[in-house]
Amino acid sequence: MTPLLKHSLQALAAAVLVGAALYCSQKPQISGAPGEGAAVSAGEGTAAVTALPAQEIDGPIFGTVYGITIAGDYPGGAEQLRHDAEEVLNRINREISTFAPDSELSRFNSLASTEPFPVSEDTALMVAASFQAGRALSGVMDITVGPLVDLWGFGHVKKHEGYVPSREEIEETRKSTGLGMLHLEYGYGGSYLKKDRPEMRVDLATVGEGFAADALAAMLDGAGVENYMIHVAGAIRSRGISPRGKPWLIAVEQPVNMIGAVNTVINPRGRAVSTAGSYRNYFEKDGRRYSHILDPRTGMPIDHATVSVTVIGDSALFTDAMDTGLMVLGADEALKYANEHSLPIYCLVKEKDGFRARWSRAFAKYMITGGQ
């Protein structure tokens, strides 16, 4: 584990771990970086292949951490790898950051107008994926809920600890949210975002990490790299084999106080993986726990017993767009949807004596160890 990852884990111990590539042991081990997801890499599988040299980099981005491990060589070495990766990540950050006032998305959010606003291809792709997930999941994935997140004290606007807004505040804030009031238009010369109410805001954090993981994977593919693992917070992409010459494995975290406890291990088979979890970012008041994950239909934090949902798909943008919405639905509805659409998902549900794992039929083939 590099010093930066070690420092990040200590400084952000309340965050959920995500994948960092390991190859030092045949047994699953845990390392990671803090972020929104609840998956951690667990080393490599059992098929013996000649070991390869490793190159590893990691660093801060989007208020969290990214990491790349390559089995083999990168043109120009680790220094060039870092330069190329951070060029990609910084470009995306300039487009979608809600903390930088001059980012593309911040300028759209601050626009006191309903006129079309030109956006980059990257932003348009993220918004389009968000629309697709929102429609598929009946609106529970909604990139316009930022005002509600702020109202509850989980966003940019910090409330006093344990602040619970009134029903009137929630309903008034909900008037400025809703995917139906946001429009993506394609015209001569590019793509445009348009909002029905000037005060509407878009937050692409839900999908930005997945998009970034895909962008890094495309960068590595373009450089001819055949074996790698990438994580950007909770979004993970992998290809080929680990430096020990074995398949990459990923562990889904057990929601307990000990960070890094493993519930199950999967072989993603080169597909993207991401996880949404509700059990590390919350507050409690009067004996009730309030999660940072909000249900756009009510403006309230989710209150069911599902604590995490892991999704496997062809792109991290897709899995990142789906995992939060499925988390809002809860295990029963999420698994019904997943089984109807042959979607691999894995849910952890809090019960009286611990946690119970539930998974869709399509997820079973990826499992190395079963849920506990």
In this prediction, residues 111-132 reach a mean pLDDT of 97
Q: How confident is the model at residue 357 (pLDDT cuts 50, 70, 90)?
A: very high
The predicted pLDDT at position 183 comes to 97
| Distance, CA of 254 to CA of 210 (rounded, Å) | 22
For the ranges 24-33, 35-44, 200-209, the lowest mean pLDDT is seen at 24-33
| 55-114 pLDDT, tens digit each | 999 999 998 999 999 999 999 999 999 999 999 999 999 999 998 999 999 999 999 999
pLDDT at residue 263 is higher than 90: no
The predicted pLDDT at position 134 comes to 97
Q: Which of 9-13, 15-19, 292-296, 319-323 reaches the highest mean pLDDT?
A: 319-323
| Distance, CA of 183 to CA of 166 (rounded, Å) | 30
The predicted pLDDT at position 12 comes to 30
More confident residue, 260 or 174: 174
pLDDT at residue 25 is higher than 90: no
The predicted pLDDT at position 15 comes to 28
More confident residue, 188 or 276: 276
Fold of the domain built from segment(s) 112-204: T-fold (1.10.3980)
In this prediction, residues 150-166 reach a mean pLDDT of 80
Length of the chain: 372
What is the number of alpha carbons within 13 Å of residue 288 lying toward its C-beta? 10
Residue-averaged pLDDT of the chain = 84
| Distance, CA of 76 to CA of 27 (rounded, Å) | 32
For the ranges 8-12, 71-75, 195-199, 309-313, the lowest mean pLDDT is seen at 8-12
Whole-model pTM: value is: 0.85
Q: How confident is the model at residue 38 (pLDDT cuts 50, 70, 90)?
A: very low
More confident residue, 18 or 330: 330
For the ranges 7-11, 61-65, 283-287, 315-319, the lowest mean pLDDT is seen at 7-11
3-class secondary structure, 35: strand
3-class secondary structure, 310: strand
Sign for the pseudo-dihedral over CA of 333, 305, 362, 233 = positive
Do the beta carbons of residue 187 and residue 128 sit within 8 Å?
no
DSSP for 114-142 reads -S-EEE-HHHHHHHHHHHHHHHHTTT-S-
Would you state the structure tokens that stand for residue 108, as one six-digit string? 């759209």
Do the beta carbons of residue 294 and residue 145 sit within 8 Å?
yes
In this prediction, residues 256-266 reach a mean pLDDT of 66
- Dmax over CA atoms of the chain, in Å, equals 64
What is the number of alpha carbons within 13 Å of residue 200 lying toward its C-beta? 23
pLDDT at residue 171 is higher than 60: yes
| Residues forming a β-bridge with 248 | 44
The predicted pLDDT at position 188 comes to 80
Q: Residues 121, 179, 212, 314: what is their CA dihedral angle, to the nearest 10 degrees?
A: -100
| Distance, CA of 285 to CA of 95 (rounded, Å) | 37
